[in-house]
């Protein structure tokens, strides 16, 4: 889930940047500190925006810089267990596929695709179901349920596991086929 979070912090403005606008310098410092990291309580930080520094800062003896309290907003992506999301298959491996959901890639293990024996062909970039002959390939749009989330503070990588082994999950074309079949059975 994407969300906008408001936080407070203190930024150190070096003496060499005193002539620059306080908002711009604060934004640059906060972007370098927060963007592209994981904060377990809020998820993946995508973008820092709307920075409001206090005009009056503090000077610490022995340090020529000023320290300003700042309130700012961040765009974050927090994957939640059991959340249903749509994404795109971006890589096929021997053990499954990676699905891009928001700004991150989640693992869709072969055992979590469907109730069928699955064969992965990395060179062709496809996963083939043995009985149904359904194919999952790089570029396929899929609907998945998040079943595992592990976020570590400060790192740029978290681990997300997803599944398609429930009704109306999987490649979007599979879902359309299943809905058509269900409607045909209902009308007859």
Instruction: Look up the pTM and report it.
Output: 0.78
pLDDT at 97 over 70: yes
User: Residue 156: its pLDDT value, please?
Assistant: 61
91 has pLDDT over 70: yes
**Given this structure, which CATH class describes domain 84-187?**
mainly beta
pLDDT single digits (tens) 146-163: 999 988 776 667 789 999
pLDDT of residue 76: 94
Please write the tens of the pLDDT for every residue from 4-61.
999 999 999 999 999 999 999 999 999 999 998 888 888 899 999 999 999 999 998 8
Provide the 10 A C-beta neighbour count for residue 38. Answer: 22
Query: Cα–Cα distance between 37 and 181 in angstroms, integer?
Result: 44
131 φ/ψ sector (left φ>0, alpha ψ -120 to 50, else beta): alpha
Contact status, residue 52 vs residue 72, Cβ threshold 8 Å = yes
DSSP H or E run through 49: strand 43-53
What is the C-alpha to C-alpha distance for residues 54 and 170, in angstroms, rounded to an integer?
49
- Confidence at residue 46, expressed as pLDDT on a 0 to 100 scale: 93
Contact indicator for 97, 153 with CB cutoff of 8 Å: no
Task: Kindly list the domain boundaries of the chain, sorted by start residue.
Answer: 2-77, 84-187
Tell me: the pLDDT tens digits for 63-79? Answer: 889 999 999 999 999 99
**Average pLDDT of the residues in 111-138:** 91
The domain defined by 2-77 folds into Dna Ligase; domain 1 (3.30.1490)
**Token digits for 160?**
């997300």
């Amino acid at each position: 889930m994407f969300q906008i979070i408001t936080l407070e912090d203190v930024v150190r403005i070096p003496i060499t940047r005193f002539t620059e606008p306080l908002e711009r310098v604060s934004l640059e410092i906060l972007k370098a500190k927060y963007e592209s990291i994981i904060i377990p309580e809020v998820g993946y930080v995508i973008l820092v925006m709307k920075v409001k520094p206090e005009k009056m800062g503090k000077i610490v003896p022995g340090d020529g810089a000023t320290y300003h309290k700042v309130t700012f907003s961040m765009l974050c992506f927090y994957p939640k267990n059991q959340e249903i999301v749509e994404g795109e298959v971006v890589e096929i491996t021997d053990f499954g596929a990676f699905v891009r959901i928001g700004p991150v890639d989640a693992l869709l293990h072969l055992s979590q695709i469907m109730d069928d024996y699955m064969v992965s062909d990395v060179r062709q970039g496809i996963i083939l179901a043995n009985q149904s002959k359904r194919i999952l390939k790089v570029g396929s749009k899929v609907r998945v349920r998040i079943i595992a989330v592990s976020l570590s503070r400060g790192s740029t990588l978290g681990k997300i596991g997803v599944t398609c082994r429930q009704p109306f999950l999987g490649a979007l074309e599979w879902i359309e086929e299943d809905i058509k079949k269900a409607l045909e059975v209902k009308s007859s």
